[in-house]
Structure 1
Amino acid sequence: MAADTAAPTERKRRLALYTLCAGTLIIILDGSVVTVALPTIGRELDFTRSNLAWLVNAYMIAFGGLLLLSGRLGDLLGRKRMFLAGITLFTAASLLCGLAGSQELLICGRFVQGVGGAMASAVTLGMIVTMFQEPREQATSIGIFSFVAAAGGSVGVIAGGVLTEAVGWNSIFFINVPIGVVILVAAVRLIEPDQGLGFGTGADLVGAFLVTSGLMLVVYAINKIESDGLGSAGTLGYGALALVLLTGFVLRQAKAGTPLLPLRMFRSRYLSGSNGVMFLFVAGLFGFQFLLALYLQSVAGYSSVKTGMAYLPGPVVIAVISLGCSAKLISRFGPRAVLLSGMVFTAVALALLGRVPVDASYAVDILPSVLLLGAGAGLALPALIGLAMSGATPADSGLASGLVNTTQQIGGALGVAILAALAAYRADTLLGEGKTPAEATTGGYHVSFAVAAGLEVLGILLAAVVLRSPKASDAGVSAVAAPAGAPVMNAEELTVPSPNEN
Structure 2
Amino acid sequence: MSQTLPKNAGIPAPDPGRWKALAFIALAQLMVVLDATIVNIALPKAQVDLGISDANKQWVITAYALAFGGLLLFGGRISDLFGRKRTFTIGLIGFALASALGGAATGQALLFGSRALQGVFGALLAPAALSLLAVTFTDAKERAKAFGIFGAIAGGGGAVGLLLGGFLTDSLNWRWTFFVNIPFAVIAAIGAYLYIREPAGTRNRSSLDIPGVLLSTLGLVSLVYGFTRAESAGWSDALTVGSFVAAVVLLAAFIVVEARVKSPLLPLRVLADRNRGGIYLSLGLAVIGMFGLFLFLTYYLQVVKGYSSLSTGFAFLPMVAGMITGSTQIGARLMTRVPPRLLMGPGFLLAAVGMLLLTRLEVGSSYAGVILPGMVLLGLGMGTAFMPAMSMATHGIEPRDAGVASAMVNTSQQVGGAIGTALLNTIAASATTAFVADHAAGATDPKLLQLQALVDGYTSAIWWAVGILVVASAIAFTLINTGKPGTGPVSQGGGTRDADEEEFKVPVIAH
TM-score (normalizing by structure 2): 0.89
- Could you say which residue in structure 1 is the equivalent of 2:502? none
User: Do residues 243 (structure 1) and 278 (structure 2) align?
Assistant: no
Deviation at 1:9, TM superposition (A): 6.8
Deviation at 1:182, TM superposition (A): 1.4
Q: 1:126 corresponds to which letter in structure 2?
A: S
Post-superposition Cα deviations, 1:214-266, rounded to whole Å, max 9, x if no partner, equal 11111111111110112221111111111111111000001111111111222
> 376, 383, 388: which is aligned to 1:378?
383
User: Do residues 16 (structure 1) and 38 (structure 2) align?
Assistant: no
User: Do residues 310 (structure 1) and 339 (structure 2) align?
Assistant: no
Aligned residues: 473
Tell me whether 157-166 or 319-328 shows the greater mean CA deviation.
319-328
- Could you say which residue in structure 1 is the equivalent of 2:214? 209
- Could you say which residue in structure 2 is the equivalent of 1:66? 71
> 421, 445, 450: which is aligned to 1:437?
450
User: Do residues 449 (structure 1) and 453 (structure 2) align?
Assistant: no
Deviation at 1:178, TM superposition (A): 2.1
**Structure 2 CA distance, aligned partners of 1:49 and 1:15?**
45
**Structure 2 CA distance, aligned partners of 1:189 and 1:211?**
35
- Listed as ranges, the gaps of 5+ residues in structure 2 are 1-12, 441-448, 489-494, 499-511
Deviation at 1:10, TM superposition (A): 5.3
Contact 2:204/2:401, CA 8 A, preserved across alignment:
no
Deviation at 1:359, TM superposition (A): 0.8
- Could you say which residue in structure 2 is the equivalent of 1:86? 91
Deviation at 1:194, TM superposition (A): 5.1
Is the alpha carbon distance of 1:481 and 1:367 closer, same or farther for their aligned partners in structure 2, counting shifts above 3 Å?
A: closer
Equivalent residue runs for 1:237-316 within 5 Å? 237-316=242-321
- Could you say which residue in structure 1 is the equivalent of 2:239? 234
Structure 1 runs of 4+ with >3 Å offset: 8-11, 193-200, 488-491
- Could you say which residue in structure 1 is the equivalent of 2:486? 482
Deviation at 1:380, TM superposition (A): 0.6
**Structure 1 CA distance, aligned partners of 2:34 and 2:194?**
24
**Structure 1 CA distance, aligned partners of 2:286 and 2:474?**
12
Give the root-mean-square deviation of aligned CA atoms.
2.1
- Could you say which residue in structure 2 is the equivalent of 1:177? 182
> 23, 37, 42: which is aligned to 2:47?
42
- Listed as ranges, the gaps of 5+ residues in structure 1 are 1-7, 471-479, 492-502
**Structure 1 CA distance, aligned partners of 2:375 and 2:485?**
38
**Structure 2 CA distance, aligned partners of 1:270 and 1:137?**
21
**Structure 1 CA distance, aligned partners of 2:485 and 2:348?**
27
Name the SS for the 1:482 alignment partner: coil
Q: Which is greater in Rg? A: 2
Contact 2:15/2:197, CA 8 A, preserved across alignment:
no
Contact 1:300/1:360, CA 8 A, preserved across alignment:
no
Q: 2:411 corresponds to which letter in structure 1?
A: T
Name the SS for the 1:302 alignment partner: coil
Deviation at 1:391, TM superposition (A): 4.4
Equivalent residue runs for 1:373-452 within 5 Å? 373-434=378-439, 436-452=449-465
Is the alpha carbon distance of 1:16 and 1:200 closer, same or farther for their aligned partners in structure 2, counting shifts above 3 Å?
A: closer
**Structure 2 CA distance, aligned partners of 1:333 and 1:481?**
8
Q: 1:245 corresponds to which letter in structure 2?
A: L
**Structure 1 CA distance, aligned partners of 2:182 and 2:388?**
33
- Could you say which residue in structure 2 is the equivalent of 1:5? none
Post-superposition Cα deviations, 1:2-46, rounded to whole Å, max 9, x if no partner, equal xxxxxx975511010110110011111112110000000011111
Name the SS for the 2:208 alignment partner: coil
TM-score (normalizing by structure 1): 0.90
Tell me whether 200-209 or 375-384 shows the greater mean CA deviation.
200-209
Post-superposition Cα deviations, 1:78-136, rounded to whole Å, max 9, x if no partner, equal 11111111111000111111111111111111111111111100211111011012111
Name the SS for the 1:186 alignment partner: helix
**Structure 2 CA distance, aligned partners of 1:321 and 1:421?**
31
> 471, 475, 482: which is aligned to 1:458?
471
Contact 2:340/2:480, CA 8 A, preserved across alignment:
no
Deviation at 1:490, TM superposition (A): 11
**Structure 2 CA distance, aligned partners of 1:324 and 1:222?**
36
**Structure 2 CA distance, aligned partners of 1:490 and 1:195?**
20
Deviation at 1:320, TM superposition (A): 2.5
- Could you say which residue in structure 1 is the equivalent of 2:31? 26
Contact 1:79/1:194, CA 8 A, preserved across alignment:
no
Name the SS for the 2:355 alignment partner: helix
Contact 2:288/2:416, CA 8 A, preserved across alignment:
yes
Name the SS for the 1:390 alignment partner: coil
Deviation at 1:344, TM superposition (A): 1.3
Deviation at 1:321, TM superposition (A): 2.9
Deviation at 1:324, TM superposition (A): 3.1
Contact 2:432/2:454, CA 8 A, preserved across alignment:
yes
**Structure 2 CA distance, aligned partners of 1:204 and 1:321?**
39
Is the alpha carbon distance of 1:402 and 1:481 closer, same or farther for their aligned partners in structure 2, counting shifts above 3 Å?
A: closer
Name the structure with the higher helix share.
1
User: Do residues 98 (structure 1) and 103 (structure 2) align?
Assistant: yes
Contact 2:359/2:460, CA 8 A, preserved across alignment:
yes
Is the alpha carbon distance of 1:130 and 1:151 closer, same or farther for their aligned partners in structure 2, counting shifts above 3 Å?
A: same
**Structure 2 CA distance, aligned partners of 1:196 and 1:102?**
47
Post-superposition Cα deviations, 1:296-347, rounded to whole Å, max 9, x if no partner, equal 1222222211111110111122222322342112222232111122111110
**Structure 2 CA distance, aligned partners of 1:448 and 1:489?**
41
